[in-house]
Amino acid sequence: MGVVMPKVRNPLEPISTAVTGVLTLLAALMGMGLLASLFADNVHVLGIGEKFICATDANTRIGDDGQPSPDFAPAPGATFTTDAHPEYCTEAPRTVQSLLNTATQLAPFIFVVGALLLALWVIRSAARDGLYATQTAERLRRLGWWILAGSVLTSIATSMAEKALLATLRLNSDISAVPAGLLSWDVPFLAILTGLGVLSFARIMRVGITMREDLDGTV
């Protein structure tokens, strides 16, 4: 009688299924959104086709009286909302405003999809070559750099696009997208720490691989 070996569970689960599922869901939602935007009004994907665009000046606070000063005057075609921070909106966006609005949403989307694709790349490499393989460690290192550098660049790019959009919605605006975006971007502390953790784990893997190769050479 043959010996029936117990089925070994995939050690990369459930992360493998989770990453694949999220990527599949994002692709399906994007496809359905783009298809719906061709036949239905008020449907937009990543700001494409959006008719009502708003931008908030988070660095400015409205006074207690809630009355806008001439410095807060909206540009032609835009409206102004008195809140804790001045908000500007338009229902007839120009092409440049639509592009900037899309940029504010596209940059984070590219970062997330890129991170998921690289994670899937690492998972498949580990399943094929083994967890402690040079290829897996190298791909994990690339994932770490993507999370670390990509999160910072995405935050800066989004901030610059938001400031540029805000400048188009304000009358006589003195906002400059590049310096204003560089000075007011939100630091993604969690993503930075995650990227550093992934890079550290990739380095540990490379050290372990080297030690194993040295041991194999002495046997």
pLDDT-based confidence at residue 141 (cuts at 50, 70, 90): very high
Q: What's the per-residue H, E or C state across the chain?
A: CCCCCCCCCCCCCCHHHHHHHHHHHHHHHHHHHHHHHHHCCCCCECCECCCCEEEECCCCCCCCCCCCCHHHCECCCEEEECCCCCEEEECCCCHHHHHHHHHHHHHHHHHHHHHHHHHHHHHHHHHHHCCCCHHHHHHHHHHHHHHHHHHHHHHHHHHHHHHHHHHHHECCCCCCHHHHHHHHCCCCHHHHHHHHHHHHHHHHHHHHHHHHHHHHHHC
The two structure tokens encoding residue 158 = 């989004």
Query: Which tops the pLDDT comparison, 168 or 197?
Result: 197
pLDDT at 214 (0 to 100): 65
pLDDT at 174 (0 to 100): 66
- 118 falls within a domain: yes
- 5 falls within a domain: no
- 214 falls within a domain: yes
Give per-residue pLDDT as tens, 152-185. 999 999 999 988 888 888 876 666 767 777 777 8
Which of 29, 194, 15, 199 minimizes the C-alpha distance to 121? 15
Number of domains into which the chain is organized: 1
pLDDT at 4 (0 to 100): 47
- 11 falls within a domain: no
- 189 falls within a domain: yes
> Side chain identity at 105, as an amino acid letter?
Q
The predicted model gives 34-50 an average pLDDT of 75
- 30 falls within a domain: yes
- 80 falls within a domain: yes
Give per-residue pLDDT as tens, 73-110. 667 767 666 666 788 888 888 889 889 999 999 999 99
- 194 falls within a domain: yes
- Which residues form the domain of 64? 17-218
Query: Which tops the pLDDT comparison, 43 or 56?
Result: 56
pLDDT-based confidence at residue 5 (cuts at 50, 70, 90): very low
